[in-house]
Copies of this chain bind each other. A is one copy, B any other.
Amino acid sequence: MRTAYHEQLDALSSQLGEMCGLAGLAMERATQALLQADLALAEQVITDHEKIAAMSVRAEESAFVLLALQAPVAGDLRSVVSSIQIVADVDRMGALALHVAKIARRRHPQHALPEEVNGYFAEMGRLAVELGQSAQEVLISRDPEKAARIREEDDAMDDLHRHLFSVLMDREWKHGVAAAVDITLLGRFYERFADHAVEVARRVIFQVTGSNPDETELPLPR
C-alpha cells in the first residue's frame, strides 16, 4: 500500500532529480557561454541560479516537514536524511555552473579560453549534462546499475581533467599565466561537479542497500 509518506518522499526525489537536471543544463549553458564568449548566455545562467537555490531551500524544507509530520523510522528515516544531504550536493552543482558562467562574464568580450583547450571544455560540458541526467535517473529509479554509469562518466571527466593539466604544464604553453589560472579553476569546477553527482548516486545507493557501495564500484569523492 502506498502511504502519504512514500508519496511525499517520491515527490522529494523528483524535486532533487529536477534540480540535478537543471544543474546539468546550467553547466551546459555556462560551457557554451565560455566557448562562445556569449555574455547573454552567461547572464542567463547567473540569473537562473536563483531558481536552483530557491528549489534547494524548498527541498530542504520538504524533507524537514516529512520528518516533523511523518516521523519516519528505520529505512524510511534514512531516506529522508539522505535527501537532506543530497540537497547540499545538488545545490553545489548549481553553484559550480554559476562559477563557470561568472568567469565567462568576467573575461567578456574576450574568450577566457585559448582555442587550444576548447575541445576539452566542450567535452567536459557534455559530460556535465550527462552527469546531471544520470543523477536525476538514479534519484528516480534508485537503480544501482544506473549509479555505476555515473562512475564511468566521472572517470571520463577525470581523464579530461588530467589531460588538460598536461597541456597546461607543457613547456610549449604560450598563453601566459592568467589563462592558466582561469583554466585551472575552471577544470576544478567541472571535476567537482562530477564528484557531487557521484556523491548523489552514492547516497541513493546507500538509501537502497543500507551500505556504501564498494570503492571499486563507485569512487568516493575527492
Residues of A at under 8 Å CB distance from B? Answer: 63-64, 67-68, 71, 73-74, 77-78, 81, 84-85, 88, 95, 99, 165, 168-169, 173, 177-178, 180-181, 184-185, 188, 222
Given A177-B168, A177-B180, A184-B181; A77-B68 close (CB under 8 Å): yes
A178 to chain B, nearest CB (A): 5
Contact of A165 among B73, B181, B188 (CB under 8 A): B181
The interface residues of chain B lying within 8 Å CB-to-CB of A71 are 71
Report Cα–Cα, A188/B186, bound state, in Å.
Answer: 12
The A contact surface, by secondary structure, is: helix
Given A67-B81, A95-B222; A178-B188 close (CB under 8 Å): no
The interface residues of chain B lying within 8 Å CB-to-CB of A95 are 222
Chain B residue at smallest Cβ distance from A178: B169
Contact of A181 among B74, B78, B168 (CB under 8 A): B168
The interface residues of chain B lying within 8 Å CB-to-CB of A165 are 181
A111 to chain B, nearest CB (A): 17
Chain B residue at smallest Cβ distance from A180: B177
The interface residues of chain B lying within 8 Å CB-to-CB of A99 are 222
The interface residues of chain B lying within 8 Å CB-to-CB of A64 are 77-78, 81
* Cβ-defined contact, B177 with A173, below 8 A: yes
Report Cα–Cα, A93/B94, bound state, in Å.
Answer: 20
Report Cα–Cα, A77/B60, bound state, in Å.
Answer: 13
Ordered by A's residue number, 12 sampled pairs between the chains whose C-beta atoms are within 8 Å are A64-B81, A67-B67, A67-B77, A68-B73, A81-B84, A165-B181, A168-B181, A177-B177, A180-B181, A181-B181, A184-B184, A188-B188
User: Across chains A and B, which 5 residue pairs bring their CB atoms closest together, nearest first?
Assistant: A184-B184, A177-B180, A181-B184, A173-B177, A169-B178
The interface residues of chain B lying within 8 Å CB-to-CB of A169 are 177-178, 181
The interface residues of chain B lying within 8 Å CB-to-CB of A178 are 168-169
A113 to chain B, nearest CB (A): 15
